[in-house]
């Protein structure tokens, strides 16, 4: 793609959460601090809420990478599970043997025994759920019952929930008041500010190997912030498309016209974006053409490589 053109070693604005690109901006720093403090207390539920694309999964992976060694983690990335499936998923994560075959009653007992065993060895156990807003109602209740497992001095299991704001709406319902009362720590991830967006863009480019002059001016970063509303995922989408268009045009400096084209080409933004005037149809056409050409180039390069190998 545009790697050679800009002297990059890898794509800087992919949507896959990669902790190598993690930048300790204020919202994510604060969230990590809340999580670490809460885990040290050893009680209840911990909740991190953020809009789509604000970096919850990246933060989740960062936590998994940096959590102190005495913690044993059970990580469930897709919690759209009924209570039985949830119990078995937790059991498997904790190393309970033959978890798929035993009855619910026996499984619950084995999970408790495993938690007591880990506690006796000096371990704390943390269950981490990403996309927790997808948990069915009965599974939310099953999750609460997990935290009833305790010794006289502490809980045997802590639960960390990463979720979209829909989870708060669900927890506000009367039937979830017991679970709501057990949430001892909570943090709301906010979007990035303009200066943070500029740091974010420069950081990702540097991690990806870029060593030249700034590709994105301060003024352009402000416009990207406005268009993306400071959502990291949307910043990634816009910057990737701008780099692609710039490469196709043989340019090295990002421009407002390229941003305009990228916005128009991004459905989630273009429908609400009215502050950039009339979109340049030529740029939109070029973005589509260059995207197609780059994909074809990659295909033929790969095919040529395979023919040489064989």
Q: Report pLDDT digits (tens) over 281-301.
A: 445 455 554 555 454 445 444
pLDDT at 79 exceeding the cut of 90:
no
Q: Which residues of 128-152 are buried (b: 16+ CB within 10 A; e: fewer)?
A: bbbbbbbbeeebbebbbebbebeee
167: closest CA among 189, 150, 148? Answer: 189
Per-residue confidence (pLDDT) for residue 273, from 0 to 100: 53
**What average pLDDT does the segment 236-252 reach?**
93
**What average pLDDT does the segment 260-286 reach?**
64
pLDDT at 65 exceeding the cut of 80:
yes
Per-residue confidence (pLDDT) for residue 280, from 0 to 100: 47
Per-residue confidence (pLDDT) for residue 41, from 0 to 100: 85
Residue 176 makes CB contacts below 8 A (sequence gap 6+) with 140, 170
Q: Measured at the alpha carbon of residue 293, what is the angle toward residues 289 and 294, in degrees to the nearest 5? A: 115
Q: Report pLDDT digits (tens) over 105-128.
A: 899 899 999 999 999 999 999 999
Q: Report pLDDT digits (tens) over 138-148.
A: 999 889 888 88
Question: Domain 26-188, what architecture?
Answer: 3-Layer(aba) Sandwich (3.40)
Q: Report pLDDT digits (tens) over 151-163.
A: 777 889 999 999 9
pTM attached to this predicted model = 0.83
Burial class from Cβ neighbours inside 10 Å (0-12, 13-18, 19+) for residue 197 reads: buried
Q: Where are the domains of the chain?
A: 3-9+193-303, 26-188
Contact (CB, 8 A) for 189 and 28: yes
Residue in the structure block whose two tokens are 């005037």: 277
pLDDT exceeding 70 applies to what percent of the chain? 87
């Amino acid at each position: 793609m545009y790697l050679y053109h800009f002297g990059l070693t890898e794509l800087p604005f992919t949507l896959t959460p990669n902790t190598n690109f993690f930048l300790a901006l204020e919202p994510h720093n604060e969230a990590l601090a809340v999580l670490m403090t809460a885990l040290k207390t050893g009680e209840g539920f911990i909740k991190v809420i953020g809009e789509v694309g604000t970096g919850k999964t990246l933060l989740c992976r960062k936590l998994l990478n940096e959590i102190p060694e005495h913690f044993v983690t059970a990580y469930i990335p897709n919690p759209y599970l009924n209570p039985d499936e949830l119990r078995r998923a937790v059991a498997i994560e904790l190393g309970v043997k033959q978890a798929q075959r035993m009855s619910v009653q026996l499984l619950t007992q084995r999970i408790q025994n495993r938690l007591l065993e880990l506690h006796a060895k000096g371990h704390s156990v943390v269950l981490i759920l990403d996309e927790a807003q997808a948990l069915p109602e009965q599974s939310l209740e099953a999750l609460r019952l997990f935290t009833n497992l305790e010794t006289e001095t502490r809980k045997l299991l802590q639960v960390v929930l990463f979720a979209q704001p829909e989870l708060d709406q669900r927890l506000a319902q009367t039937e979830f008041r017991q679970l709501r009362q057990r949430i001892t720590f909570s943090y709301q991830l906010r979007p990035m500010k303009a200066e943070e967006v500029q740091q974010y863009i420069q950081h990702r480019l540097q991690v990806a190997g870029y060593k030249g002059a700034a590709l994105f001016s301060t003024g352009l970063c402000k416009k990207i912030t406005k268009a993306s509303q400071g959502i990291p995922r949307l910043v990634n989408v816009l910057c990737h498309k701008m780099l692609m268009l710039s490469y196709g045009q043989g340019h090295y400096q990002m421009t407002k016209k390229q941003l305009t084209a990228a916005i128009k080409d991004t459905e989630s933004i273009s429908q609400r974006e009215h502050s950039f005037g009339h979109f340049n149809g030529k740029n939109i056409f070029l973005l589509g053409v260059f995207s197609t050409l780059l994909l074809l180039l990659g295909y033929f390069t790969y095919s040529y490589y395979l023919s040489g190998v064989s």
